[in-house]
Amino acid sequence: MVRELKFKMVEDGHGIEAHKKMISVLVKEHNTMMQPKSKRGEWADNLDVPRVSSEKFEVLFHAGCRFSYDKVLQNSARSAVTMLKNAGVNIGIMGEREMCCGGRAYSMGYRDELDRLAKSNINACSKAGIRTIVASCADCYHAFKRLYPQFGSQVEVLHTTEFIHRLIKEEKLKFRTGMPITVTYHDPCHLGRQGEPYVPWQGVEKKIKKQIIVYEPRRPRYNGAWGVYDQPREILKAIPGVQLVEMQRIREYSWCCGAGGGVREAYPEYSNWTAVERIEEAKSTGAEAIISACPWCERNFMDAVSGMGDSMKVYDIIDLARKAV
């Protein structure tokens, strides 16, 4: 209902000004970071990784807008690609041809932008022969996993934590270096409760007594319980020396970082308050660091910690995994 209200407000010309500015740049530059698209692939300039324009490969690593342009977080994307390559995965990137997934625009009420970007990305993957998309950004994962199937996408979609967890189970990846650190894990909204896979439905909508709506057959319901929760935790537990302590609000009940849905751009003070609330909860566990699997969460936490003058460390789970290999 809330999302439909957003769609209606945007279609009627009542979108939030901060969002309008972002969307205007997105249309031209294909990213939500207000940056030129020509610099999209620079994060991988020193990586020996094929790009879709020059070689064929079956596994595509999609960096996403935040990882592509955030200078501090770019190393996490590089680490992810390096780990997968070293494990023998035939992986490549779109580089400067990569475009925004459209998920963030969709969550702000701009469904036409999702439609445009989804169709472009699906077409690009089809031409390149891509069979699997690996995303380190939870927002991108949600778009590819939950939204793109509605546009006909049939590629396998995995978050980096799912792929690494698979490699560990197949004994293609082992952690050898100990890391004596106590950490707590933050479940990103778009990897957790909004990371459930899309379930297609065909049926009819009926009204009982002109007011109660029922569906035949029953429509699938998303309650957040089937997101990606276990794999990140099992990765952390597999790293020698890492002690995982849990916060009170976890999994589908996790407290949002405050960066999603365009909140960070439109309501920065509220976004920061939300992040501080989560940092305080993380501190209550006795953890030295808060770990997540989404660059938007990590950026919001980093900014909040800096503003608090706190010593809490913020890491992407890939950063720890890469150091332990």
Whether a cis peptide bond, with omega within 30° of 0, leads into 217 is: yes
Burial environment of residue 207 by CB neighbours within 10 A (0 to 12, 13 to 18, 19 or more)? exposed
Instruction: Count other C-beta atoms under 10 Å from residue 193's C-beta.
Output: 22
Does position 221 have pLDDT exceeding 90, yes or no?
no
pLDDT score recorded for residue 211: 82
CA 281 remoteness from chain centre: 22
Q: What is the DSSP string of 67-89?
A: HHH-TTTHHHHHHHHHHHHHTT-
Please report, for the chain, the start and end positions of each structural domain, with discontinuous segments joined by +: 2-324
**Residue 191: strand, helix, or coil:** coil
- pLDDT tens-place string over residues 80-100: 999 999 999 999 999 999 999
- pLDDT tens-place string over residues 287-302: 999 999 999 999 999 9
Query: pTM of the prediction?
Result: 0.94
pLDDT above 90 coverage of the chain, percent:
89
Rounded Cα distance between 7 and 5, Å, is 5
Token duo for residue 26: 């997105």
Mean pLDDT for 184-195 is 98
Alpha carbon distances (Å) from 110 to 27, 32, 78, 114, 165: 11, 13, 30, 7, 34
Does position 56 have pLDDT exceeding 90, yes or no?
no
Alpha carbon distances (Å) from 56 to 59, 64, 130, 247: 9, 20, 8, 43
- Are the C-beta atoms of 57 and 91 separated by less than 8 Å? yes
Instruction: Count other C-beta atoms under 10 Å from residue 60's C-beta.
Output: 23
Does position 255 have pLDDT exceeding 80, yes or no?
yes
Does position 54 have pLDDT exceeding 70, yes or no?
no
Tell me the longest C-alpha to C-alpha distance in the chain: 65
Where does the pLDDT of residue 52 fall: very low under 50, low under 70, confident under 90, or very high at 90 and above?
A: confident
**Residue 55: strand, helix, or coil:** coil
- Are the C-beta atoms of 87 and 143 separated by less than 8 Å? no
Q: What is the DSSP string of 282-319?
A: HHTTT-SEEEES-HHHHHHHHHHHHHHT---EEEEHHH
Does position 220 have pLDDT exceeding 90, yes or no?
no
- Are the C-beta atoms of 167 and 173 separated by less than 8 Å? yes
pLDDT score recorded for residue 61: 98
